[in-house]
Chains A and B, each alone.
Chain A
Amino acid sequence: MTAFAPQRLSRTIAEGAFLAFCWVAAAVALLALTAIMWSLVSQGIGGFFKPDGSGLDLNIFTMSTPAPGSEGGLLNAIMGSLMMCAAAMLGAVFVGVLAGTWLSEFARDSRYGKIVRFLNDVLLSAPSILVGLFVYEILVAPLKGFSGFAGAVALGLIAAPVITRTTEDVLRLQPTALREASVALGAPVWRTILAVIWKSAQGGMLTGALLAFARISGETAPLLFTALNNQFLSLDMTKPTANLPVVIFNFALSAYDDWRRLAWAGALLIAATVLTVTIIARLLAQEPRRS
């Protein structure tokens, strides 16, 4: 028995050190992430109250970005972001759902299907700034002008692969019997897909779209040289369009305290939106399991 004693001791020590490391790692990581969330909330919340602390201040939603030192809000940036994200999502859902359907219902394991699937995954995680460069090359440079439209195209190109991926995944989860039943009843394939498969997978597809929206609503890099920025409230997407991420970027790097205050408020607004949308998406994804 004594021969085993040293080894047992070394095992105990290794185990103790390992467990301690895991606890410390988890503590450090969670601490760092909590610190970030804390600064975000504590610095950002100020933008929603009057500077002297006397009640709510809704300027952020009612006024456009100010000159340094004067009163203002983020209305133009919020509107611009909403318009671009909406336009991007329209295009991305159209392309993504159809492409995902093709991968799941028509291509499966064909060679071309595999290539599309692989390159879609590459596009999914390609650096977003390169998408911005691409859109600059094909839309901004030839048309000689930054525009909200170009920004929407860049965002759409980032959202589409996400939607393609999730659509394919949820469609593949639908039972084959469902398709067979529909075809046996005499429905053509396109009706089977539209009225049966999409219908049965709609929760998962909606989750995918929401996750894609969450992803693009905070994207900054591709907008820097497509949508650029605009000091004023403008609903014309053929002109440079203000948007939250770029305004946050410019204001955060400025030397003015009130601009920085708006930048923090904007960052909190984006983070809160992203978190809310993600949580809704996750709740939706759990739904089918319950019923």
Chain B
Amino acid sequence: MTADASVLIAADAPRSARGTGLDRAFEILCFTAATFLLAALGGLIVSLMIGGWPAFAHFGIGFFFSAEWDPVKEIYGAAGAVTGTLVTATLALIFALPLALGVAIFLVELCPSRLRRPIGTAVELLAGIPSIVYGMWGLFVFAPWFSKHVQMPIMMSAEPGTLWETLTTGVPNGSGILSASLILAVMILPFMAATLRELFLTIPPQVRESAYGLGSTTFEVIDKVSLPYIRTGAIGAVMLGLGRALGETMAVTFIIGNSHGFPTSMFASGSTIASTIANEFAEATGVLHTSSLIALGLVLFVITFIVLALARVLIGKQANL
């Protein structure tokens, strides 16, 4: 950071001035607030563990490998929702990353300078739109269009018996794994584009200008100079986007179709951990049902924690975003 981080007034101030007696009290108050945040995260983990324990104890290790989810027979397995979460988030990242990079490069290198600020600001503002808006758009606008113009033609033309046919079976109502991934992609796109743009702007102009001065094309400057310069930070930004996609609830719940079990095709309906919890938790009655949902939450926490921790470590190395 800019101010000399080494100088801590609180540590060096003279203790003789009037009123210093309250210094200690104020420091303790601040310390308590910081510790409260720590305790909140700790409490979150512990409460998920305690709440999920009955499910882990009842199903054992099989909880993670079974895709059966049957509230009537009281049999619960996490594999379907975990797979749905990982598949939708990964697909969303695959769709969103090239677009986000394209938008960021467009804003930094190609956009007419008069439009640069308005478009850049608009992208940043869109990153703050609540995800429920994306979910509603997905359900009411995107799904009907997707069903009519993408799913129907593809399913009609798929040759029976091929792998492609297996991958594209499902009810062509516009919802499903692929639709959810696309909506997620649209949702994380502004966030990733804004972060990447900010990273591109941290590159000193001299570095880029010298590359251009040597006769490089725009592509070569981006590929050989800019991207290597921001690489760690960019990977961190991508991981943050992935973290968002993994834990996103509302954008997915509207459009994934909410069926349990192992997703077998792009157009089949499925579920993610977050959408399962959102749909069933308030209505869950049995101890085992509630507990299985909380156990799912713990699995989600562990997945996102790993991704976010990696992201923070990488971004921290690059710059303070």
- A-side residues, CB < 8 A to B, are 11-12, 14-15, 18-19, 21-26, 28-30, 32-33, 35-37, 39-40, 43, 94-99, 101-103, 105-109, 115-116, 118-123, 125-131, 133-134, 136-138, 157, 160-161, 164, 169, 172-176, 179-180, 183, 186-193, 214-215, 217-221, 224-225, 228, 245, 248-249, 252-253, 260, 263-264, 267, 270-271, 274-275, 278-279, 282
A138→B132 CA distance, assembly (Å): 26
- Contact in complex: A36, B281 (CB < 8 Å): no
For chain B, give the interface size range: 35 or more
Whether B193 lies near A252 (C-beta < 8 A) is no
Given contacts A128-B247, A191-B19, contact A219 B189 (CB under 8 A): no
Whether A43 lies near B240 (C-beta < 8 A) is no
- Closest residue of chain A to B111 (Cβ to Cβ) is A26
A119 touches B9 (CB 8 A): no
Give 30 pairs: A residue, B residue, CB < 8 Å, sorted on A. A15-B217, A23-B106, A25-B101, A30-B119, A36-B137, A40-B137, A95-B33, A98-B30, A99-B37, A106-B30, A109-B5, A126-B304, A127-B246, A129-B274, A129-B297, A130-B300, A133-B293, A134-B43, A137-B48, A137-B294, A172-B3, A176-B9, A189-B13, A189-B20, A190-B25, A218-B131, A220-B130, A253-B139, A267-B133, A282-B121
Q: How far is the CA of A107 from the CA of B100 in the complex (A)?
A: 37
A182 CB to closest chain B CB, in angstroms?
A: 8
Specify which chain A residues have a CB less than 8 angstroms from the CB of B243 in the assembled complex: 125
Assess whether B217 is in contact with A14, with CB atoms less than 8 Å apart. yes
Contact status of A173 and B3, CB under 8 A, knowing A183-B9, A221-B250: yes
Contact check, B19 vs A188: say whether CB atoms are below 8 A apart.
yes
| Secondary structure call for the B interface | helix
Complex contact A187–B17 (CB within 8 A): yes
B9, B107, B134, B301: the one contacting A180 at CB < 8 Å is B9
A271 with B47: CB separation less than 8 A: no
A133 touches B51 (CB 8 A): yes
Contacts between chains A and B (CB distance < 8 A), count: 301
Q: Is B249 touching A221 in the complex (CB atoms < 8 A)? A: yes
Q: Is the CB of B37 within 8 A of A271?
A: no
CA distance A15 to B186 in the complex (A): 27
Query: Chain B: which residue is nearest A109 at the CB level?
Result: B5
Query: Which residues of chain B have C-beta atoms less than 8 A from A225's C-beta?
Result: 281-282
Give Cα A95 to B3, complex, Å.
Answer: 24
**A173 to B190 CA separation, bound complex (whole angstroms):** 27
Across the interface, do B9 and A137 meet the contact criterion of CB distance under 8 Å?
Answer: no
CB distance from A222 to the nearest CB of B (A): 9
Residues on A with beta carbons closer than 8 Å to the beta carbon of B219: 14-15, 18-19
* Closest chain A CB from B17 CB (angstroms): 5
Bound Cα distance from A5 to B305, whole angstroms: 52
Asked whether A138 lies within 8 Å of B47 as measured between CB atoms, the reply is yes
Chain B residues numbered 269-321 whose CB sits less than 8 Å from any CB in chain A: 274, 277-278, 281-282, 293-294, 297, 300-301, 304-305, 308-309, 312, 320
Within 8 Å by CB of B48, from A122, A133, A160, lies A133
Whether B217 pairs with A275 at a CB distance below 8 angstroms is no
A129 to B98, CA, bound (A): 28
Q: Are A161 and B48 in contact (CB under 8 A)?
A: no
- Chain A residue nearest to B51 in the complex (CB): A137
Closest to A274 in B: B128
Given contacts A25-B101, A116-B38, is CB(A220)–CB(B250) below 8 Å?
Answer: yes
